[in-house]
Structure 1
Amino acid sequence: MKTQVAIIGAGPSGLLLGQLLYQNGIDNVILERKSADYVLSRIRAGVLEHTTVQGLEKAGAAERMHREGLVHEGVELVFDHKHIRVDFEKEVGKHVVVYGQTEVTRDLMDARAASGGLTVYEAEDVALHEIDTDAPYVTYLKDGTRHRLDCDFIAGCDGFHGVSRQSIPEGVLKTYERVYPFGWLGLLSDTPPVSEELIYAKHPNGFALCSQRSTTRSRYYLQVPLSDKVEDWPDGRFWDELKNRLPPETAAKLVTGPSLEKSIAPLRSFVSEPMRYQSLFLAGDAAHIVPPTGAKGLNLAAGDVQCLADALCDYYRNGSSAGIDGYSERCMKRVWAAERFSWYMTKLLHTFPDADDFERKMQEAEFNQLELTENAVKTLAENYVGLPY
């Protein structure tokens, strides 16, 4: 089998890239190790930046998002019960849309099915070959039979543990990493959100986030030690601690209920560069990870694949390699900006177990800066709604 672009991974970034290429007449095949149902079962956040919304529009997969997504014009930050509301529309004239990543993935799957694009699910033992040449190919097992997919380029959209980054020879990539000494315990419930906007709260016991998936489904998070397990947190304990970390007036409005899903996710900052090696391009979590505090993971991936789609369109339409040659450098500026913002939000709002009195005072001073200067609020708003890709 032959295609122009082989895409490894059928998460939202791989599917979005596939649709953007399809809309521009560029043939592509997506290979996914898991089943479609498994991909849709992964629970992820869904705060969509302006440029991500534009990408979904270009891909022909934004109709349901515009109908069901929740427009958020600001967020609330709480630091030891001191409040600041960051008004995005006032500060930068933009907003974000809350729409679950699972729903984004479903919409992109539906758009691909309608376009007739090929996605091979449950493709096992995927291997990349000859990626340092102009004739790369991918092999995989499907139903016990070995297949070969020849292509011009390979897009690695297969996440942190995927085969794409691992296929690059040793010594090519430089990696940067920061592992945080805590995780996020998330709970999903069919309860109305405690607030129309997201609430980020700093408390001596740790961070808390009040988020949502719809007007009837909520997603809440608590900072917990990495040693904790989900079994340590029955629903009653979770709700009691969430109320404890929220301001009393907010806690009084909290509607509790049985959890639909609970999980603990570690927090990490990770960057691997460059994002291109010869005929292989990395995108999304294959190249970088951000702590979820800044809501940048999905949005960074969407920015990457929009960059890559632009570059490949220029190559196939105009015969220009300028876009693909500059892909990594272009993406990295935005990646590091998002890493900085996510690191800033994490440092600002979490309780660090080894922090001394000076560090705690610096943390408080950082929050107070948002009250003292309009420029600090504007910068936070500008980064939260997203920088251009």
Structure 2
Amino acid sequence: MKRVGVIGGGQLAWMMADAAQKLGVKLLVQTPSEDDPAVSIAQETVFAPVDDANATKILAQKCDVITFENEFVNLQALSILAQQGVCFRPKLEALVPLLDKYDQRCYLRDLGLPVPQFFALEEVENLRSKIEYLGFPTVLKSRRHGYDGQGTFIIKDFATLEQKLSYETKTKPLNKSLFLLEEFIPFERELAIIAARSVEGEIVTYPVVETQQEQQVCRRVIAPAEITPNQAEEIEAIAHTLLNSLEVVGIFGIELFIKADGKVLVNEIAPRTHNSGHFSIDACETSQFEQHLRAVCGLPLGNPALQCAGAVMVNLLGYENSHSDYQSQRQQIAEIPQAHVHWYGKTESRPGRKLGHVTVLLDNQNQESTYSIAHNIESIWYPR
């Protein structure tokens, strides 16, 4: 039996459980809290922060391979373990250019992949002229640890930028090296693709999906996205270029923009399973979670194809501070035809927190009915 250690014990690790059982894989988890979702499914848990390399060393002694559920790791400390023979998949070298969003932008640009214009705040001598070059609105981003919209700010004018930077200075010393600025993209839609690469270098990609955000948090995913064959081909080529360049083993999520003129830009890379791929649990022959375990265990990759005409996935986000399990709402949603509710078992709700998701399988691709299903789920879930 293959033993896989997962750094991180949130819902992404929790959703590996069924796949692990199917493949005969033993899951061990490193996570700080007994209340984290994956603790309930792990054969063994090392209770420690995910950036605690000493705890990872203990985890490694019990595992054949270690993978990641999130990016909040200390690569420098983990590299010592790698030198001692610990097997990380994806390898640490593949994560180095991705964890800092400025480094990630540079890496993508140098690969010749299309990205928004950007620059690091620390490198700027004449900030005003640089901003005028990008134009307003512009986007200020934290270079590390930003997710679900955290650490991303839409800046409407120079006064707002100065106000934001001075606020940061008052609350804590401003470290310009923690931020980058990039052009605001007036995109038509946001897209994503999940791609996996095996130990042998085989790559499979899932259908390109449309992701819909509200307040910079993903609310819905529609699979497949309504795009042209050429756009799908271009996005698949981007995934192949990136994964081969990094020599990745495992699953990556790639977020993209599509502009009004049809041009595709890469937004961000997640070197792990991703929210935009949750539909695959119920809609695809091989879920992204099974695919990831197949890759890191050195097994042949599975078929990523849809087994239905399409699917819509809706995140069940917290809208209040509560310890409710929302049993009544979940039951109503479960009664929707072809609905599959996944509840992460988190003990505390707070606004914007991902508490679960529901995927509804579609018999045909009809935009009107897809939106109607999503609206129905949200009308049940969120208070009027």
Larger relative helix fraction: 1
TM-score (norm 2): 0.30
